[in-house]
C-alpha cells in the first residue's frame, strides 16, 4: 500500500527527466577536504549529492521515500559506471533507518508537508556516525520562487532550534558550524534568487587517527567562531519574519 508521503514525493519526482545534477554547494564545501569513506544521503531526491559523492570516491548509501527517485538514481549511477559505489534503497524515514555506521551523513533540505518526527530521525542519524564522523544538516531558511511550498507562514527551523530538537550531548556531538548564510541560487528553469540556508554541522567525538577532523583551517571563518563551546549558536542572519508550519 502506497502511503500519503510516498505518493506525494513520487508525484513530485515523476515528471523529472534527468537525474543527478550539481551537488548542493554546502555539502561540496564540507566534503571536499575529507578523505572519502562511507556516506549516507538522507532524502536523496534526484541524486545530485549522491552522484557527486560517489564521483569523489565515497561509498554512498542513498535513501528516499520515493521509489521513483530511487529507481532514477540507480539507473543514473549505473550509466555513469558508479553502480559499485552507490546503494540506493527506498526508506520511509519515519518508520525505518538504514543499517550501519557512516563517516558522513547528509540531511539536505529534509523537509516534508507530511508528518515526520525530525528530531528522532536526526538523533538516529547522529548516533549512526562513526567516531569523528560528520552530520551535515542544511535546511531552507527562506522560500525560493520555484519551491513547491509557497506558504508565507512557513516556519524555518534555525540552527539553534534544530540543535534543541535533536537534544544531543554537546560533549559527544559538538557543533562545528551553526550559521545562516545567504547565497545566490539557480532554479530548475534557470531563474535566480537570493536564498538563506540554515546550517548545522555536528561531529561525533572520539575521532580515530585515520579520521580527518574538520578544523578551522578547513572551513575558514565558519566554524568555532560561530558555534561557541557555550552552546550559543549564531543567528545573525536569521530572517526577521517568524513563520509557522514546516516546508
Q: What is the pLDDT confidence band of residue 243, given thresholds at 50, 70 and 90?
A: very low
pLDDT of residue 52: 97
Report the percent of the chain where pLDDT is more than 70: 79
Q: Would 239 be classed as within a structural domain?
A: no
pLDDT of residue 5: 74
pLDDT of residue 111: 73
Q: What is the mean pLDDT of the chain?
A: 81
Query: Range of 138's domain?
Result: 4-203
Cα-based angle 130, 67, 166 (whole degrees, multiple of 5): 35
Q: Would 141 be classed as within a structural domain?
A: yes
Q: Which residues contact 64 (CB under 8 A, 6 or more apart)?
A: 9, 43, 44, 45, 70, 73, 88, 90, 91
pLDDT of residue 114: 67
Give the CATH number of the domain where residue 28 resides.
3.40.50.150
How many independent structural domains does the chain possess? Answer: 1
Hey, which bits of 9-128 come out as E strands?
Answer: 38-42, 59-64, 86-90, 102-108
For the chain, give the longest Cα–Cα distance: 50
Each residue's pLDDT tens digit, 148-207 = 666 777 788 899 999 999 999 999 999 999 999 998 888 777 888 898 999 999 999 986
The grid cell for 27 is 555539502
The grid cell for 73 is 538514481
State how far the Cα of 115 lies from the Cα of 164, in Å rounded to an integer: 19
Q: Would 222 be classed as within a structural domain?
A: no
DSSP secondary structure letter of residue 91:
-
pLDDT of residue 247: 30
The grid cell for 223 is 566554524
CB burial class (10 A; 0-12, 13-18, 19+) of residue 184?
exposed
Please give the residue that has the higher pLDDT: either 70 or 246.
70
Each residue's pLDDT tens digit, 223-241 = 333 333 333 333 333 332 2
pTM comes to 0.81
Q: Would 77 be classed as within a structural domain?
A: yes
Amino acid at each position: 500500500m502506497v502511503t500519503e508521503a510516498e505518493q506525494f514525493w513520487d508525484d513530485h519526482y515523476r515528471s523529472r527527466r534527468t537525474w543527478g545534477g550539481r551537488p548542493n554547494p554546502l555539502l561540496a564545501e564540507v566534503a571536499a577536504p575529507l578523505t572519502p569513506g562511507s556516506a549516507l544521503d538522507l532524502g536523496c531526491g534526484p541524486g545530485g549529492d549522491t552522484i557527486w559523492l560517489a564521483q569523489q570516491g565515497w561509498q554512498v548509501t542513498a535513501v528516499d521515500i520515493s521509489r521513483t527517485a530511487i529507481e532514477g538514481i540507480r539507473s543514473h549511477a549505473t550509466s555513469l559506471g558508479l553502480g559499485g559505489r552507490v546503494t540506493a534503497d527506498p526508506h520511509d524515514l519515519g518508520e525505518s533507518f538504514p543499517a550501519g555506521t557512516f563517516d558522513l551523513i547528509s540531511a539536505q533540505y529534509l523537509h516534508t508537508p507530511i508528518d515526520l518526527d525530525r528530531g528522532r530521525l536526526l538523533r538516529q542519524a547522529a548516533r549512526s556516525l562513526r567516531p569523528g564522523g560528520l552530520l551535515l544538516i542544511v535546511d531552507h531558511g527562506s522560500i525560493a520562487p520555484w519551491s513547491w511550498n509557497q506558504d508565507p507562514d512557513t516556519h524555518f527551523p534555525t540552527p539553534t532550534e534544530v540543535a534543541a530538537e535533536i537534544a544531543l550531548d554537546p560533549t559527544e556531538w559538538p557543533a562545528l558550524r551553526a550559521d545562516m548564510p545567504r547565497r545566490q541560487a539557480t532554479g530548475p528553469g534557470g531563474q535566480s534568487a537570493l536564498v538563506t540556508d540554515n546550517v548545522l554541522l555536528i561531529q561525533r567525538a572520539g575521532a580515530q587517527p585515520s579520521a580527518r577532523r574538520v578544523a578551522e583551517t578547513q572551513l575558514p571563518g565558519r566554524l568555532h567562531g560561530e558555534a561557541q563551546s557555550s552552546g550559543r549558536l549564531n543567528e545573525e542572519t536569521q530572517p526577521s519574519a517568524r513563520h509557522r508550519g514546516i516546508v
